Structure formats: structure tokens, C-alpha cells
Chains A and B, each alone.
Chain A
Amino acid sequence: MRNIIAFIRQFFNLFLFLVLMGIALAILINYNQTYNVVFSGIANETTGKVGAQYNAIEYYFKLKKTNEQLVAENAELRGLLKSSFGGPDTSSVIQVDTLMKDTLGRVRKFRFLPAKVVNNNISGETNYLTLYRGSKQGAQVDMGVIGPNGIVGKVIQVSDNYCLVMSLLNRNSKVSAMMKNGFYTGLVDWDGKDPRYVIMHNIPKSVKVKIGDTVLTSNLSGSYPPGIMIGTVAGFQGDSGSGFLEMKVKTSTDFYSIQYAYLVNNMIWAEQKELEAKTPKEK
């Protein structure tokens, strides 16, 4: 009898071990497939709060660099103001207009929502950022995220006040990109090695690429406005198995020091997706 009890007790521990491992594995797999788990939304909210506390301290040490970035961006935007272009007629008054359509009848396509970065990881293979802006403030899943210097990532999960962003430096991230010189489109992803560089694929070998060429987001990616900078070419080599080049691209965003980012809302993307879903697959 004592032996049986001892056996059951030993078996119970093994059983518990397997169950716990199973739960952990299930969490791991589920989390990687669907991001809409309610529980992780709550957990996200809690860890986001702690992250915000930590960031309040870290932010202080990076004030100078953040300032420089914002000043540089301001200068760039100022250059785009109508008032900085001289012309015969200066009678137009610039007004901030919140209507969906401007006076020329063009529909506003992208809206930018600023957000503070409260948590940022670069040391892993799958990196995420947390931004202090959630569904209550207009953040939605699948929005693109850009920084002052270039693209940052894509929103994969939102809670009430925070959103989780899959960084460009993530094994699973893929961004449609094009060369500024010639508009060849390709695909940018990360190989998990150096957080300063990403890899661009699918550019034919016939294209004449130079070190320093600019890589931009393409027209095909709905999350980002076309023509946002991704980075510059830092090196390239032909893939021996195919007719394509593999290029090392230095990211224009400095992931080590990013403090502010903008969520990009493509306001008419839903319509595009709806139309594409209707496309007949087979006749």
C-alpha cells in the first residue's frame, strides 16, 4: 500500500510537470497566432503601467537626443509650410481643418497620431514596443508606426490605454519596400542578428544598386504611407540560388533611443480591404 501511494505521489509530480509545460506551450503558440486574447490585453495594461514608470526615469536621460530629433523634424515640417514658399499671391490663409475633405476635393487618406514609447526591446529575436496610446485614443490593430526618422513597426494588439507594436526588428515582421532610385519593390525583414540592420529581398540582380541608396516604403503596403524612409543600403550580394539580390539596409530609425512615434491611420483602407475580399478567386 505504501508503495502504491509513493508511486502515485511520484506520478503526480510528473503529471503536474507535463500539464504545466503543456499550458506554457499552448500559451506560446496561441499568442503567436492570435493577438486578441482578452487576458493578454489586461496583462498588457498592467505591465504597460510599470513600463511607463521606468520610462519616466529613462526618458530624462535621453531628453537631449529627443529634443534634437524633434527640432530636426520641426525644421523639416516648417520647410513644407505654404508660407515658406514665395509666390505672387500671399493672400491665402492657412487654417487647420479637421474635415475629412480639403477644399480641392481630395480625401484625406492618412492621419497621424503621436504616441509616447513607454517600453522598447531590442535585445531579443522577437522585439516589441509598447506605446502609451490605446483604443480609447484611436489606436487600432494593423496601424503602421513611424518615428521621426523612419518606420518603426506595426500595431498588433491594443488595450484601453496602451498598444503593443511589433518592431521592425522582429523575426516575424515583413514590410513591402521600394528603392527610391527606380521604384523596384521588394520585401524587408530582419534576420535577428544586428539591431542596426535589416535585410531587403526580391530586388532583381539586373538593378544597379549603390551603397547609400535610399529604401522607402512602397505603395503596396496599406499600413504605411508610400515614400516613408526605411533606411539606406549598407551592402549587398547576389543570392546564389536565385536571380535576386540580398541587401543589408541600415535602418534610419535609431531603435536604441526612440522616444516618440506616430501611429498611422489609413482612413480608407477598410474600403480597399473590403473590395479585395470580394475579388472572385476562381471562375
Chain B
Amino acid sequence: MTSLLKNIIRFILFILVQVYIFNKVPPVNQYVKPYIYFLFILWLPFNIGRAPLMLLAFVFGLTFDYFSGTPGLHTMPCVLIAYLRPFLLNLLIPQETTQLSYLEPSAKSMGWASYSTYVLILTFLHIALLVFIEWMEFGDFLFFIGKVTATTVLSLILIFIAEMLFPRAGKYRTNTAA
């Protein structure tokens, strides 16, 4: 399966799973809300350019927004993490070796420690901005902190469960395929 086809399928699956499964979960309490859709952006290949990456995140966020009835709300955090992703990857991994030999970020290609840091930071930023936009008009600071923390923890658990359920073969990229 080519990388393009795989990512198109992921695009559709992540949106459907988030809209029709996780958005339907009745909120356990007012803090916790499960989010996993942005994993699509974290899993995109290394070799995608920064501008296409941001445009893709914009389209992805907007598509998801139209399903959840609030255009623009999830688009901004998606563009934010797409913008920050290359910086973070450059910091975390020796790019010369990894980016040439592996297709996309995963525990196998980056190592568990680096990959966890990568997921943790982007998840936290994504949810912090999302909750911030959502709560801009209400402004209860303790509530804001509580909601960000609880939602981040829940999303991280979901992401690592997804990581274990669907282990992506960290396939070696050959020179000819590129």
C-alpha cells in the first residue's frame, strides 16, 4: 500500500471514529472528553513539506469541524501542531539517519523516549489551545487547567492504546523507492 493511499484512508477513518464513536461517548464528568483525531497529523510522513503539512492540517481540521457543527474550532489547534511538528522533530531525532531510513514518526523509528515526548508536547499544546478557544468567553482559570490536564491524560491513554493495537511496521525506506 502506498503512503498516499494509507494516509487518505487514515484521514477518513480518524474523522469517522472521532465523530461517530468518541463524540458520542457521554461525558464521564464535565472535565473529560476523549480526543484522538489529531493523531492523523502526528502520523504523517517525515518527507512532507511544511507548507503542504499546514494546508493538509487546515483541510483536516475544517472537515472535522463541519461534522461537529463548529467550523474553525478544531482547525486552529490542528494548524498549530502542524506548524510546530517539524521544529520538534528536528530537536528530538538525529534527522540525517532516521528521516532517510524511515517513513513516518513512530515508536520504532524514533525510540520510545523521543516518541513519547513528541506525542506528549503536541497533544498538550493541541488540547490547551482547543480548550482555550472554547472557554475564552467564560474564563474560569481553575476549570481551564483542570480540563486541559484531564483531557490531555485521557487523549494520551487513547493514543498509546491505538499505538499498541495497531503497531505500524516501521518499514525501512530503500533509496530506490524515494
Residues of A within 8 A of B (CB): 12-13, 16-17, 20-21, 23-29, 31, 40, 43-44, 46-47, 50-51, 54, 121-128, 130, 164, 171, 192-195, 256
Please determine whether A24 and B54 come into contact, CB atoms closer than 8 angstroms. Answer: no
Cβ–Cβ contact A121 & B69, under 8 A:
yes
Which residues from B are CB-within-8-Å of A195? 26-27
B174 within 8 A of A: no
Chain A residues whose CB sits within 8 angstroms of the CB of B27 once the complex forms: 122-123, 195
Tell me what chain A mostly uses at the interface: helix, strand, loop, or mixed.
helix
Which residues in chain B, 67-98, are within 8 Å of chain A measured between CB atoms?
A: 67-73, 75-76, 79-80, 83
The reply to whether A13 and B50 form a contact with Cβ atoms under 8 Å apart is: yes
Chain B residue, CB-CB nearest to A42? B66
Interface size on B, residues (CB 8 A): 32
A20 near B134 with CB under 8 A, answer no
Which of the residues A27, A44, A54, A256 comes within 8 Å of B72, measured between beta carbons? Answer: A27
Which of A31, A44, A50, A194 interacts with B30 by CB under 8 Å? Answer: A194
Cα of A223 to Cα of B144 in the assembled complex, Å = 35
A-B contact pairs, 6 of them (CB 8 A): A28-B73, A31-B71, A47-B67, A50-B67, A123-B27, A126-B69
- Chain B residues with CB under 8 A of A23: 58
B69 touches A128 (CB 8 A): yes
Q: CB distance B76 to A28 under 8 Å?
A: yes
Tally the A-B contacts, defined by beta carbons under 8 Å: 87
Min CB distance, B131 to chain A, in Å? 10
- Complex CA gap A124/B134 in Å reads 10
Q: Given A12-B51, A21-B76, A21-B80, decide whether A164 and B23 contact each other with a Cβ distance below 8 A.
A: no
With both beta carbons as reference points, the residue of chain A lying nearest to B24 in the complex is identified as A123
Please give, as numbers and ranges, the residues of chain B lying within 8 Å of A164 by CB-CB distance. Answer: 69
Given contacts A24-B58, A124-B68, 6 further A-B pairs with CB under 8 A are A23-B58, A47-B66, A124-B23, A124-B33, A164-B69, A256-B26
Partner of A20, one of B69, B79, B137: B79
* B76 proximity list for chain A (CB < 8 A): 21, 24-25, 28
Does the CB pair A16–B26 fall under 8 Å?
no
Q: Once the chains bind, are B83 and A17 in contact (CB under 8 Å)?
A: yes
